[in-house]
């Protein structure tokens, strides 16, 4: 058995198929771990979602910001744009089934036995691992019990600190921001949710993973930050989004062999 952690697919189903042929993926023996953002911006979100859902226990995925925005839009929140290329998915006869399955996926996957953690964007500096797991479970419970109410309060950049959360809604929003949107933090651990692009030389900003560099932590796999091109300087924290939807590459990491495999990214035709 081999487990492969795959960066943001974002509807690039052809590239996913190429990658799986490259690694000779066998769904009877192997398992795929997806870093979230299965859909949006690429041309084949519907096919991607159907494929991953049909893998059953051969796939583990966590929710990304594009996944959550899509789900929120189905409840009247969020905003789907033409650039998301989701019309085919939104018109699919199995839309409700696919959305229901996606809504059941976690924000965070933690393998306690092997000390492995999968998340889309990152973990807030204020958290320890038990706090992160508990915070994510609260979001996951809401997705199962009252998703519409969660989507109604999900958007926004406040609070910037976990310790400044005044109520349960603040905690839920902070958790989603940390796990699906964050790239940088300020020196005191406040989330900075606007900066994108390559590693910034702004002395006021610190990549979230640097806060974990001198702490004991699981082996962490994350996506979301395509501009890193798979680079993380912190030991046992692996960046997997290599910008497939932007024409760069789709990458996976084999947990057992500690090898990376990549295929060329999606080429948008004008």
What is the domain-level CATH number for residue 35?
Answer: 3.60.21.10
DSSP one-letter code for 199: P
CA–CA separation, 12 vs 268, rounded Å?
A: 11
Residue numbers of the domain that contains 64: 3-264
Closest residue by Cα to residue 264 from 242, 235, 237: 242
d(CA 169, CA 153): 7
Q: Looking at residue 172, what is its pLDDT? A: 98
Contact 4, 252 (CB under 8 A): yes
Please state the pTM of the whole predicted model: 0.97
Between CA 270 and CA 267 the distance in angstroms is: 9
Q: Is 111 strand, coil or helix?
A: strand
Cβ pair 119, 79 in contact under 8 A: no
Q: What phi and psi, each to the nearest 5 degrees, are found at residue 188?
A: -90, 10
Interval 44-101: pLDDT, tens: 999 999 999 999 999 999 999 999 999 999 999 989 999 999 999 999 999 999 999 9
pLDDT at 269: 62
| 201 located within any domain | yes
Residue 120, in any domain of the structure: yes
- What's residue 220's pLDDT? 98
Spatial separation of the C-alpha atoms in residues 256 and 240, rounded to whole Å? 16
The tokens describing 236, both together, are 């046992």
The mean pLDDT of the chain is: 96
- Is 269 a member of any domain? no
Asked if the structure places residue 270 within a domain, the reply is no
Name the percent of the chain lying above pLDDT 90: 93
Q: Which of 137, 200, 194 is nearest to 160 (CA)?
A: 194
How many distinct structural domains can be found in the chain?
1
Half-sphere exposure of 200 (CA within 13 A, CB side): 17
């Amino acid at each position: 058995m081999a487990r492969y952690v795959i960066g943001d697919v974002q509807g690039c189903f052809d590239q996913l198929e190429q990658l799986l042929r490259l690694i000779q993926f066998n769904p009877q023996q192997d398992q795929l771990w997806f870093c979230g953002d299965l859909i949006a911006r690429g041309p084949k979100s519907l096919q991607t979602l159907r494929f991953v859902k049909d893998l059953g226990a051969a796939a583990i995925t966590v929710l990304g910001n594009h996944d959550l925005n899509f789900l929120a839009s189905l409840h009247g929140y969020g905003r789907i744009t033409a650039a998301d290329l989701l019309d085919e998915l939104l018109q699919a006869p199995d839309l409700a089934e696919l959305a229901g399955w996606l809504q059941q996926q976690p924000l965070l996957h933690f393998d306690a036995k092997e000390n492995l953690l999968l998340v889309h964007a990152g973990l807030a500096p204020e958290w320890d691992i038990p706090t992160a797991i508990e915070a994510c479970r609260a979001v996951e419970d809401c997705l199962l019990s009252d998703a519409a109410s969660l989507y109604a309060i999900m958007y926004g950049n406040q609070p910037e600190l976990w310790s400044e959360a005044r109520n349960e809604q603040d905690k839920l929003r902070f958790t989603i921001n940390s796990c699906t949107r964050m790239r940088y933090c300020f020196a005191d651990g406040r989330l900075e949710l606007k900066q994108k692009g390559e590693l910034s030389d702004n002395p006021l900003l610190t990549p979230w993973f640097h806060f974990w560099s001198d702490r004991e932590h699981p082996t962490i796999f994350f996506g979301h930050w395509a501009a890193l091109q798979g680079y993380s300087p912190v030991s046992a924290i692996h960046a997997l989004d290599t910008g497939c939807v932007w024409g760069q590459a789709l990458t996976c990491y084999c947990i057992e062999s500690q090898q990376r495999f990549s295929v060329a990214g999606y080429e948008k035709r004008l």
